[in-house]
Amino acid sequence: MNILGISCFYHDSAACLIADGKIVAAASEERFNRSKNSPDFPINAVNYCLQSQDLTILDVDYIAFHEKPFLKFHRTVLSHIQAYPFSFKNFMDTMPHWLQDRLIMPLYFGKELGFKGKSVFVKHHLSHAASAFLVSPFDEAAILTADGVGEWATMTYGYGTGSKITIRREMRFPNSLGLFYSAITTYLGFKALEGEGKVMGLAGYGKPCYMDKFSELIKVNSDGSFFINHKFFGFNKGSQMYSKAFVKAFGAIREPESKLDQRHCDIAATLQKTMEDILIKIVNNVYKETKTKNLCLAGGLFLNCVANAKILDSTPFKKVFIQPATGDSGGALGAASYTYHCLLENDRKFVMRDAYLGPDFTDAQIKRALMEKELDFRELSDSELFRYIAQCIYEDKIIGWFQGRMEFGPRALGNRSILANPCNPDMKGILNDKVKHRESFRPYAPAVLDNRAEEFFNGKQHSPFMLLAPSVKANKAKIIPAVTHVDNTARVQVVSRDINPRFYQLIKEFETITDVPILINTSFNLRSEPIVCKPEDAISCFNRTDMDYLVLNNCVVKKQRG
């Protein structure tokens, strides 16, 4: 049985294919159309998923969509009416899209894909819940989901056991912790849906000294439920998500790309602490009601790896699972999984242990791309390659590393990565300035060998998906300054030999040279661009940066200076 999951039309469109209960392919549309956070119907991602398994649309039994369009339309129309006349422009901008395709999704699937099978529509937050629990290693677990907004829900909590999921409670729009975070992200001069991670990083440079003022913005009950003071916000009233009252309370808006001052850092720190405090209250309450040791988290809010680590360290839960595409792209995975397991009542037999579900490319395809660009390259054996590149990294060279299947989700996990030396205290500045072309405060993540992670980092558990940011052990921070954040945390990826043997072996060779089992691992892209997908994307990115080497499978290109 083949089930195609689809998420689209808001942000981070994606497709996922489940074949007989196993996730065999998944990818975001942005990687193919090269438009960051693309909301477009994921025609390229769908084509990839099918072609990767030598299937056509005629082989698909079900298409599962990640939300209920009519329910979302109901919320959209009602909220526009309630906010009239301030919402008029938004109403006129969005209605044509609803009337053109979003209310006739089964017909749209037929038109765009030639699909004649059955269509299934799964509530947005139920898709999120399924995307975490149904592919987790847990037989039973509490489930918490949180994002901007789905149909009406902005946060839900439930319980999963076997192949069943029950949603017990939900918070509803316009009370949304995700929209609250995004609104203040835009006030600080960053883009919504893209800049939230920047605000998380910026928070480390500030102090949460606005907690009294924030208590006027959001009222929090003892169980963690919250109510936003909409005097300060307008989620559906125009181009700004915050109001004049917010600006009056916190000062002038920061213009994009303008200088960051301490006030901005302190607001970011207060926002981060407010969110963490609320989530910890909620999770503690969920534990009281479920009494299970396992927790599954899903939704865009849980891309905040600092908050995730605080949740794990500050609540009674022993283990947490967050799948790598926990944002809206993961809705495609969740809708397909929910259809297969919960609706069709099939037992679970798949655990998501890695994120390598995207396209890969043969040596012949890679060599052809290199020759078309007239790039000189050397082809090395595996043992030669790992030793040579590890030595280059030790010598502070920066490496574009392109191997195997592309990762699903927003994190590069060793197959579409830029790699560098974590021991060089200047490396963060070099990468931000000369390679990534991004803000100077942005931190970098360590990829560490699994058998030595506890030697360098604290925490109850470590994430293979770079979704937890534990503190760095006091005696190790000076050894790896380039990946130790200003608040002494690090967004750690634990690398296992059986999950990614090539990446593991490269780190192992670096360990042989330095006794440091860690590399800087950041996504292979430039600022505001998607992570590279094809060899041609990698070559283009390499040519536009000061990376020193490009490694495509076993082919090595050295940058020709001057």
The string of pLDDT tens digits covering residues 148-183 is: 999 999 999 999 999 999 999 999 999 999 999 999
Q: What is the mean pLDDT of residues 317-321?
A: 97
Do residues 326 and 334 make contact, with C-beta atoms less than 8 angstroms apart?
no
Q: What is the dihedral of CA 406, 410, 411, 417, to 10 degrees?
A: 50
One-letter-per-residue 3-state SS of 462-473: CCCCCCECCEEC
The string of pLDDT tens digits covering residues 31-85 is: 999 999 999 999 999 999 999 999 999 999 999 999 999 888 778 888 777 777 7
Give the DSSP H or E segment for 540: helix 535-543
Write down the pLDDT at residue 70: 84
Residue 451 is given by DSSP the state: G
Write down the pLDDT at residue 196: 95
Write down the pLDDT at residue 101: 77
State pTM to two decimals. 0.95
The string of pLDDT tens digits covering residues 210-244 is: 999 999 999 999 888 999 999 999 876 666 889 99
Q: What is the mean pLDDT of residues 270-296?
A: 96
**What percent of the chain is modeled with pLDDT above 90?**
88
Q: Map residue 474 onto helix, strand or coil.
A: coil
The string of pLDDT tens digits covering residues 369-427 is: 999 999 999 999 999 999 999 999 999 999 999 999 999 999 999 999 999 999 999 99
Write down the pLDDT at residue 191: 93
The region that residue 228 occupies, defined by phi over 0 for left and psi between -120 and 50 for alpha, beta otherwise, is beta
Residue 53, both tokens: 């398994």
Write down the pLDDT at residue 124: 97
| 561: confidence class by pLDDT, cuts 50, 70, 90 | confident
Write down the pLDDT at residue 400: 98
Structural domains in the chain, CATH included, are 2-66+68-121+328-343 (3.30.420.40), 177-316 (3.30.420.40), 363-558 (3.90.870.20)
Write down the pLDDT at residue 89: 75
pLDDT greater than 80 at residue 265: yes
One-letter-per-residue 3-state SS of 296-322: EEECHHHHCHHHHHHHHHHCCCCEEEC
User: Cα separation of 97 and 88, whole Å?
Assistant: 15
pLDDT greater than 70 at residue 562: no
Write down the pLDDT at residue 104: 82
Gyration radius of the chain over CA positions: 23
Residue 175 is given by DSSP the state: -
The string of pLDDT tens digits covering residues 120-157 is: 999 999 999 999 999 999 999 999 999 999 999 999 99
H-type alpha helices, 188-304: 196-203, 211-217, 244-250, 262-290
Write down the pLDDT at residue 237: 64
Q: What is the dihedral of CA 41, 44, 45, 48, to 10 degrees?
A: 150
| 344: confidence class by pLDDT, cuts 50, 70, 90 | very high
pLDDT greater than 80 at residue 91: no
Say which amino acid occupies 551: V
User: Cα separation of 312 and 462, whole Å?
Assistant: 10
The string of pLDDT tens digits covering residues 441-475 is: 999 999 999 999 999 999 889 999 999 999 999 99
Q: What is the mean pLDDT of the chain?
A: 95
pLDDT greater than 90 at residue 99: no
